[in-house]
């Protein structure tokens, strides 16, 4: 299939593009490199020994987006492009609504313009808000606790309304739990800018010596060891879920929603222990105040994805940590900084060819 991937240079996008290429799909990527580097795409093409079309396209630029759709005529879209930092979304809500909601609206209009109506969307377990009914099933009522989460919720609703209005659309809302890990080659992985917001990249940076110690946000939650519990999912399993959803959409119209998680939770201290064990490095930590807005515990019921898609997460915490550690060791400061937001499509093509 000709698949257009928005945000394909990013963390989850790059791992998914690799699998698409390995499965024989023709891939094109639209990314503005606001949180990524074309180096990830270069490494993906070298791992897959296949080429991709990489365009410097901002979803907020409808003309550029339309031109790309006219050119590529994709049969399906996987939509990763979005901003994802919860704290930043509280400080700058309009930036999040503009980028995530307007960006998606533009994308849907570009899709319509070429009659492409198959879409896989990166949603998030954040749409379960502060729900305490565990495990979380797709029918759990949605809510949002911050602007980032509300953009995901609005987009899910927009997609459902679109599918209800026109029976030609096939849409998958994939609700990711906590994606971690990296490709086993150690060549691609998550490269957070500045101080990581998320636990696993923070722990990795402590293990490699870039940061002193992990602040554990709360030690008095009603969980087995008092620290927060999350459903960590290996990014390779998560990527595979997108290919399974794409297959399903070939046979099925309408809007569908699936949780992508393992179904099991790990605590903050379990993650720190696993990292120290695998890396052989001490991981210092200190229990500090709870982070506002965090829930004690959160994990998926992933049965629906298993039944409908034949998909199931296969990698456990140990492997997530091993792969994350390999990536961290091989790329202690992430991808080299390349001023890609200024690069033309010709320069990008040349860069990938080099």
Query: Which residues of the shown chain bind ligand NAD in the complex (CB under 6 A)?
Result: 7, 9-13, 30-36, 58-60, 80-84, 99, 103, 122, 124, 176, 179
Q: Is 301 among the residues that bind ligand UFG (CB under 6 A)? A: no
Enumerate residues 253-282 that contact ligand UFG by CB under 6 A. Answer: 268
Residue placing its CB nearer to ligand NAD in the complex, 111 or 219: 111
Strand pairing report for 285-288 and 214-217? parallel
CA dist., res. 54 & res. 67, Å (int): 14
Residue 17 CB, shortest distance to ligand NAD, in Å, is 11
**How many CA atoms does the CB half-sphere of 177 hold within 13 Å?**
27
Distance CA 259, CA 304 (A): 7
Closest to ligand NAD by CB, 151 or 219: 151
CB of 126 to ligand UFG, least distance (A): 3
Q: Is 148 a catalytic residue?
A: yes
Consecutive H or E run containing 216: strand 214-217
Q: Backbone dihedral region of 255: left (phi > 0), alpha (psi from -120 to 50 degrees) or beta?
A: beta
Rounded to a whole number of angstroms, the minimum distance from the CB of residue 313 to ligand NAD is: 14
Of residues 232 through 251, those in contact with ligand UFG by CB under 6 A are none
DSSP run (H or E) holding 245: helix 235-251
- Count how many residues are written for the chain: 354
In 3D space, the residue among 271, 198, 200 whose CA is nearest the CA of residue 229 turns out to be: 271
Tell me which of ligand UFG, ligand NAD, none is bound by residue 112, counting a contact when its beta carbon lies within the kind-specific cut-off of 5 to 8 angstroms. Answer: none
Provide the β-strand partners of residue 26.
Answer: 2
Strand segments (E) across 21-135:
26-31, 53-56, 76-79, 118-124
266's enclosing H/E stretch is: strand 266-267
For position 107 contacting ligand UFG by CB under 6 A, the verdict is no
**CA 13 to CA 122: how far, in whole Å?**
10
Contacting ligand UFG within 172-211 (CB under 6 A) = 177-178, 197-199, 202
Should residue 126 be labelled a site residue for ligand UFG when binding is judged by CB under 6 A? yes
Q: Which of 11, 96, 128, 148 is catalytic?
A: 148
Residue 82 contact, options ligand UFG, ligand NAD, none, Cβ 5-8 Å cut-off depending on partner type: ligand NAD
197 binds, among ligand UFG, ligand NAD, none (CB under 5 to 8 A by kind): ligand UFG
Q: Which of residues 64-103 bind ligand UFG (CB under 6 A)?
A: 84, 86
| 30 versus 302: smaller Cβ distance to ligand NAD | 30
Q: What's the order of all strands across the beta sheet hosting 254-260? A: 53-56, 26-31, 2-6, 76-79, 118-124, 170-176, 254-260
- Contact residues toward ligand UFG (CB under 6 A) are 84, 86, 124-126, 177-178, 197-199, 202, 214-217, 228, 230, 268, 291, 294
Q: Which residues are catalytic, by number?
A: 148
């Amino acid at each position: 299939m000709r698949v257009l991937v928005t945000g394909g240079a990013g963390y989850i996008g790059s791992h998914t593009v690799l699998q698409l290429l390995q499965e024989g799909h023709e891939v094109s990527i639209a990314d503005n490199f606001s949180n990524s580097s074309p180096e990830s795409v270069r490494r993906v093409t070298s791992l897959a020994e296949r080429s991709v079309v990489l365009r410097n396209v901002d979803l907020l630029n409808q003309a550029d987006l339309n031109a790309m759709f006219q050119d590529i005529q994709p049969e399906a879209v996987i939509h990763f492009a979005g901003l994802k930092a919860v704290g930043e979304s509280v400080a700058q809500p309009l930036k999040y609504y503009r980028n995530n909601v307007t960006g998606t609206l533009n994308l849907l209009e570009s899709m319509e313009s070429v009659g492409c109506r198959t879409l896989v969307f990166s949603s998030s377990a954040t749409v379960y808000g502060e729900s305490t009914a565990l495990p979380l099933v797709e029918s759990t009522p949605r809510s949002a606790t911050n602007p980032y989460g509300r953009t995901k919720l609005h987009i899910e609703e927009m997609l459902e309304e679109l599918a209800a209005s026109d029976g030609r659309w096939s849409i998958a809302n994939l609700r990711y739990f906590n994606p971690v890990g990296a490709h086993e080659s150690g060549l691609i992985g998550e490269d957070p800018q500045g101080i990581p917001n998320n636990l696993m990249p923070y722990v990795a940076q402590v293990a490699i010596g870039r940061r002193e110690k992990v602040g554990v946000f709360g030690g008095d939650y009603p969980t087995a060891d008092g620290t927060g519990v999350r459903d960590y999912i290996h990014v390779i399993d998560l990527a595979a879920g997108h290919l399974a959803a794409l297959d399903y959409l070939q046979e099925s119209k309408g809007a569908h929603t699936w949780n992508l998680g393992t179904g099991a939770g790990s605590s903050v201290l379990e993650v720190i222990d696993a990292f120290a064990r695998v890396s052989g490095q001490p991981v210092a930590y200190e229990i500090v105040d709870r982070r506002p807005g965090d829930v004690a515990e959160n994990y998926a019921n992933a049965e629906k994805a298993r039944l409908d898609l034949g998909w199931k997460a296969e990698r456990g915490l140990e492997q997530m940590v091993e792969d994350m550690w390999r990536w961290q060791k091989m790329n202690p400061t992430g991808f080299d900084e390349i001023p890609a937001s200024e690069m033309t499509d010709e320069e990008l093509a040349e860069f990938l060819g080099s």
